[in-house]
Structure 1
Amino acid sequence: MKIAMWSGPRNLSTALMYSFGNRADFHAVDEPFYGPYLRITGLDHPMRDAVLTSRLESAVEVEQSLLGPIPNGKPNAYHKHMCQHMVDGIPRGFMAGCVNVFLLRHPARVVASFLNGYPQATEDDIGFARQAALFQHCRDLGQNPVVVDSADIRADPQGMLRAMCQAIGLDWDPAMLSWPKGPKPFDGAWAPHWYASVHDSSGFAGPEGALPSLDARGQALTETAMPYFDAMARNALKI
């Protein structure tokens, strides 16, 4: 099984990658299209040079690697994808051969966290519109992709992860509930800038509190994203 997990930034995506990566039967891949995305867009992201140096492949080469054999003799692969990376020039053909899962987080929380690390972020950078478009793309392929809200995982990690595994036809493994602290061998080169909190973790954090306060720009980004979030949330897995 090849799982393509689709989310925006600051969305429990790294913790969920660590969860699957802690299973003995999974090979984990961290944001495989990040290098091609930066080369296509020319964006000046944190650690841009390090990302480009570590991700030399073209978008077509990345797709071929995702379609190819799973490394290290593992039966399953987990691909952590950022929806905003799927700009024109990034192929989508590989999605037809994947189990596509969509991970949500309330836009106010995403915006507050992402602006803290990338203050010039725009609507395209947080990825909600593209996430909805990718979800529809999977529907057009005849798939019925699973949608999971990160708030539900944080509220009941075992319950939601069990339900997600069942929904995609994967056996449950309690190894998903925890992982060793520190960096992981499959971390992307950008981990020093973005992954400090998850490196200090050994499992999923508990439920979040009230929504954060935002300035006018953050509020505007949130309001733009809310219709896409609300539409996706109506499809979220429940237990």
Structure 2
Amino acid sequence: MTRVAMWSGPRNLSTAMMRSFGARPDTLVVDEPLYAHYLAATGIEHPGRAEVLASQPTDYRVVAAALTGPLPDGVDVHYQKHMTHHLLPGMDQAWIGELDNAFLIRDPAHVVASYAKVREEPTLADLGYVQQATLWREFGGPVVDSADVLRDPRGTLTRLCHELGIPFREEMLSWPPGRRDTDGVWAPHWYASVEASTGFAPYEERPVEVPERLRKLVAEATPFYDELHGNRI
């Protein structure tokens, strides 16, 4: 049994990556299992907040026990899509050491420019780079850049699977459109583009415009991104 915990920040390729692993016949995926805990602990308002709180345990200890506990027969890979900003100060993280951790990163200029369209004043904690770097230093694990995935899905996923000790499966490169039973209840608010997708979109090299007020945030995130990017597979 391989328990893949893929730690990502927001405005990344995380849901498409979950689709990729979910297309494997040997894999069970779980979508942001710490989301309800995060909302309950912070009191933050997100679209569909009440539905999220009702759909998951709000105690991270209960979630951690499930993520490291028994799984149904026939499941060889348990793919866990995690947002690193859901890890809050004071949480016991010993359970994370029982997982096969991996890290999905994206250039902070692109993340901040995208995030600014849905939340005007994101913070460094919202972006998850500090948490990603801290987890990577503590637990290790393969790092993949979303740009590399889009440039070469087959090659990057083959390397990722090798690092995780599982075989690459051809099914990871495409999937049927539509919603999944394993999608979080927040899917109607966030997943329109991935629901229409049937595979990874082609990589596009395009300039990014970061609002002037948020350029300092990009500068703050960049050293953490650079550390992870320099160690990517």
Aligned mates of 2:190, 2:73 — CA distance in 1: 27
Aligned to 1:80: 81
Closer/same/farther in 2, CA of residues 158 and 63 from structure 1, 3 Å limit: same
Q: Deviations over 1:99-135 (max 9, x none)?
A: 1101110011111222222334221111111111111
CA contact (8 A) 1:63 1:91 kept: no
Deviates more, 1:111-120 or 1:8-17: 111-120
Note the C-alpha offset of 1:48. 1.5
Aligned runs of 1:151-230 on 2, under 5 Å?
A: 151-230=147-226
Q: Deviation above 6 Å: which 4+ runs of structure 1?
A: none
Note the C-alpha offset of 1:72. 5.5
Q: Identity percentage over the alignment? A: 44
Q: Deviations over 1:168-222 (max 9, x none)?
A: 1111100000111111111111111111111111000111322310112232221
Aligned to 1:141: none
Aligned to 1:69: 70
Note the C-alpha offset of 1:32. 0.5
Aligned to 2:141: 145
Aligned mates of 1:59, 1:108 — CA distance in 2: 31
Note the C-alpha offset of 1:25. 0.3
Deviates more, 1:56-65 or 1:22-31: 56-65
Aligned to 2:38: 37
Q: Which runs of 5+ in 1 are unaligned?
A: 139-143
Aligned mates of 2:72, 2:58 — CA distance in 1: 17
Opposite residue 207 of structure 1, the aligned amino acid is: Y
> Match of 2:204, SS?
coil
CA contact (8 A) 2:57 2:63 kept: no
Q: Which runs of 5+ in 2 are unaligned?
A: none
Aligned to 2:105: 104
Closer/same/farther in 2, CA of residues 47 and 118 from structure 1, 3 Å limit: farther
Aligned mates of 2:46, 2:150 — CA distance in 1: 28
Aligned Cα root-mean-square deviation (Å): 1.3
TM-score w.r.t. length of structure 1: 0.93
1:234 aligns with 2:227: no
Aligned to 1:55: 56
Aligned mates of 1:77, 1:118 — CA distance in 2: 31
Aligned mates of 2:50, 2:195 — CA distance in 1: 22
Q: Deviations over 1:57-110 (max 9, x none)?
A: 411100010011123641210000111111124332221111110111001111
Aligned to 2:28: 27
CA contact (8 A) 2:40 2:58 kept: no
TM-score w.r.t. length of structure 2: 0.95
